[in-house]
Chains A and B, each alone.
Chain A
């Protein structure tokens, strides 16, 4: 994936996080847009860009969410970028469900890494699986699956068939 597209992805994630993340609907759709951006880059199989994108996305997330320790999400998403790139290279899978499941697991892992780092460095209580984290992972998985479905959907054929139906 080209660097320009990566920047566009990150910018989109920032915009969505900024608007949706601060919206009153945040509790109902707490999607980790930065994880989705990282996963999108990692799906191309480029390890270096996946890691760097994960780092940048995590740093932006820390900055936007006002984390007390800037870098915990960068640390977690760099690892997840590498792991997702490895999965996309080594494992052949497809379908919205598989992508959603992978993103669910990645989101849980992200929360676990962040919780572990916070416990180690900020002496915070170590709570890995919280309802919020589960809900966030679920939302991220659903959003990822939906995006995968939308990405894979044959929009051109659907549009042709729709036109043909109207013409008849």
Chain B
């Protein structure tokens, strides 16, 4: 016969322990029953519906967290992509802006050239418009570098003008650029004629932005404001191109009047000039020089 264990017997008659066992058994029974009982929705069992009901908030929370994390990761990746794209777009934008500036400059040049050509259609023998690249004012010498050369049909002696009046002439021709002497240069001169009286003289630059008309006799009726134009007698400039207007007339002590002329062309705003055909005398001279060289 086995000996009695008093402690086990006392524990067995303890209602609390029995209550715990009862609770466990009842929970197990409820779970077993709910696993068998059909749910009211007709799908699955009551236990499944309970589990789904209990797990739905957890699943929702997990889903929300998952969505949040995936959104955050996606946002981070998108941010990096956006940065790269931003850099690329910025580079493209810079290139486009440069291209736009260039196109605008070209369009402006074309428009200026067209405008110049249109305005200068009254001038004789216009070959085209050329841009001024550089203007030099140095010790009475006033020269300009133009953006056209022999490849563009420029030859030495070609007059340069703007619609308002004569500007100067080409003195040295390169392949793509040429050097021109402005009429304001101290050593430049052009045959001139007073449009009102028809008297002929010589216009010279004073090297300081003004012109002087020489060889007009003191008997002349020239007056302030009279138009001075090219006479076409110097073998360089064609006839009838405006030079300027008489600014002042003084008698001086010699046989000729001292006449100061304000240039018609605005030399301070020279950007493009019209290239005129060279005088026939210069052409002949140049061909004769080439023949002699041969």
Contact = CB atoms under 8 A, between A and B. Distances in A.
> Bound pair: A and B?
yes
A110 interface: no
Interface in B1-59: 12-15, 17-19, 21-22, 25-26, 29-30, 32-34, 36-38, 40, 46
B26 A78 contact: yes
Contact of B25 (A51, A68, A72, A89): A51
Contacts, number: 66
By size class, the interface of chain B is 20 to 34
Given A70-B36, A117-B33, A121-B33, A79 B26 contact: yes
Interface in A84-111: 85-86, 89
A47 B17 CA distance: 8
Interface string A41-84: 00001111111100100000000000011111011001100100
Contact of B33 (A45, A55, A71, A85): A71
Q: Which of B18, B37, B38, B40 has the most CB of A within 10 A?
A: B18
A82 B22 contact: yes
A122 interface: yes
Contacts of A47: 12-15, 17-19, 21-22
Given A47-B18, A51-B22, A74 B12 contact: no
A82 B19 contact: yes
Contact of B37 (A74, A82, A122): A122
Q: Which of B17, B29, B38 has the most CB of A within 10 A?
A: B29
B32 A82 contact: no
A123 B40 CA distance: 9
Interface residues of A, number: 26
A52 B12 CA distance: 12
A4 B29 CA distance: 24
Contacts of A117: 33
Contacts of B37: 69, 121-122
A50 to B, nearest CB: 7
21 contacts: A47-B19, A47-B21, A48-B17, A49-B12, A50-B18, A52-B25, A55-B29, A70-B32, A71-B29, A71-B33, A72-B33, A74-B29, A75-B26, A75-B29, A75-B30, A78-B26, A78-B29, A86-B15, A89-B13, A121-B37, A122-B37
Interface of B: 12-15, 17-19, 21-22, 25-26, 29-30, 32-34, 36-38, 40, 46
